[in-house]
């Protein structure tokens, strides 16, 4: 009787990821496999918490189709475990972004260039000082938006900078947007696994900007696809969304009943002209 080899312990290394990934590419292109893997992981995370029928049903079908094309759930689940362990061991990294570039998947023909993580760290450290804590104490939370988020390197670097000063899970709302669906899903996966609250939008920033009465309550428009992070469904953020919604209905947007949602402070990782992002109560956040 042949003894079954014991399962190898997942350590979360780049080598593990690439070895398992190559096993999935025996009959399909690298890009096809990568796209299916990211979609399957994103759908798994989303459907654990986002039960809105318009999201849930489509993502269940998408997940099943991706797993079928990948052959089985065994290898994709191992890769997911590697990603989880990699970010557990070192949350201060853009793991999926690095694997994406290592595999030669970056699309320079579309102007897709990922910012080096070291540069993202410098940007984060320059933007967030001691005043951040004061702003949170005054307003309840801050919103950090990257409208060309890629795999989320800038937002991930921000997490490492902020967690030394504040509880980022309860006090920071992360918003990312990118025209590329696959890299948007990469950003969503990593921020979700790192315990961030917020959402990632797939859509063109210029033709489909984020709209709505509040950044807490974005309005999904045609041409956009929203991926809400699990932490955004926590009690803290659910309460804020509820109070925000009630405040708008009862006070016509002039003043809310809770100081924590009275104002919203934005940090933008995009060069907007003054006034392009409207004030509170306007159609654009």
Residues 122 and 220 in one domain: yes
Among 1-5, 172-176, 273-277, which stretch is predicted with the lowest mean pLDDT? 273-277
CATH at 224: 3.40.50
Residues 254 and 141 in one domain: yes
Residues 205 and 257 in one domain: yes
CB within 8 A of 49, min separation 6: which ones? Answer: 228, 230, 233
39-50: per-residue pLDDT in tens? 999 999 999 999
Identify whether 104 is part of a domain.
Answer: no
Identify whether 111 is part of a domain.
Answer: no
Residues 239 and 121 in one domain: yes
* Mean per-residue pLDDT, 2-10: 65
Q: Is the pLDDT of residue 163 over 90?
A: no
63-84: per-residue pLDDT in tens? 999 999 999 999 999 999 999 9
Output the pLDDT for position 176.
Answer: 96
Residues 58 and 182 in one domain: no
- Read off the pLDDT band of 248 (50, 70, 90): low
79-133: per-residue pLDDT in tens? 999 999 999 999 999 999 999 999 988 765 555 667 788 888 888 888 777 778 8
Share of the chain above pLDDT 70, in %: 81
Residues 128 and 220 in one domain: yes
Residues 141 and 263 in one domain: yes
Identify whether 278 is part of a domain.
Answer: no
Identify whether 237 is part of a domain.
Answer: yes
Domain that holds residue 121: 117-268
Output the pLDDT for position 85.
Answer: 97
Give the pTM: 0.85
Residues 146 and 76 in one domain: no
Identify whether 2 is part of a domain.
Answer: no
Output the pLDDT for position 111.
Answer: 54
- Of the residues 89, 107, 129, which one is the last residue of a structural domain? 89
Residue 285 or 6, more confident: 6
Please state the domain count of the chain: 2
The tally of CA atoms less than 13 A away on the side-chain side of residue 22 is 7
Residues 36 and 167 in one domain: no
Q: Are 243 and 255 in contact (CB under 8 A)?
A: no
Output the pLDDT for position 244.
Answer: 86
Identify whether 128 is part of a domain.
Answer: yes
263-285: per-residue pLDDT in tens? 455 565 544 444 343 333 333 33
Identify whether 8 is part of a domain.
Answer: no
Supply the mean pLDDT for the chain. Answer: 84
Residues 80 and 127 in one domain: no
Output the pLDDT for position 247.
Answer: 76
Residues 80 and 124 in one domain: no
């Amino acid at each position: 009787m042949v003894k079954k080899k014991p399962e190898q312990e997942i350590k979360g290394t780049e080598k593990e990821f690439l070895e398992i990934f190559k096993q999935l590419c025996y009959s399909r292109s690298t890009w096809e496999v990568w796209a299916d893997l990211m979609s399957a992981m994103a759908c798994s995370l989303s459907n654990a918490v986002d039960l809105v029928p318009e999201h849930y049903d489509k993502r269940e079908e998408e997940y099943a189709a991706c797993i079928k094309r990948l052959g089985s759930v065994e290898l994709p689940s191992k890769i997911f475990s590697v990603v989880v362990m990699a970010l557990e061991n070192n949350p201060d990294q853009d793991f999926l972004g690095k694997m994406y570039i290592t595999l030669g998947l970056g699309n320079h023909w579309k102007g897709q260039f990922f910012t080096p993580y070291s540069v993202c760290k410098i940007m984060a450290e320059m933007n967030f000082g001691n005043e951040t804590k004061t702003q949170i104490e005054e307003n309840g939370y801050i919103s950090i938006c990257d409208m060309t988020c890629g795999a989320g390197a800038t937002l991930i670097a921000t997490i490492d900078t902020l967690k030394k000063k504040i509880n980022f899970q309860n006090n920071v709302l992360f918003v990312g947007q990118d025209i590329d669906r696959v890299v948007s899903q990469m950003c969503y996966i990593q921020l979700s696994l790192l315990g961030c609250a917020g959402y990632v939008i797939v859509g063109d920033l210029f033709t489909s900007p984020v709209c709505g009465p509040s950044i807490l309550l974005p309005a999904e428009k045609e041409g956009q696809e929203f991926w809400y992070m699990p932490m955004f469904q926590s009690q803290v953020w659910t309460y804020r969304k509820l109070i925000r919604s009630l405040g708008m209905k009862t006070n016509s947007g002039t003043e809310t009943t809770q100081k924590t949602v009275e104002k919203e402070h934005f940090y933008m990782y995009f060069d907007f002209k003054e006034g392009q992002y409207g004030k509170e109560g306007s159609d654009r956040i």
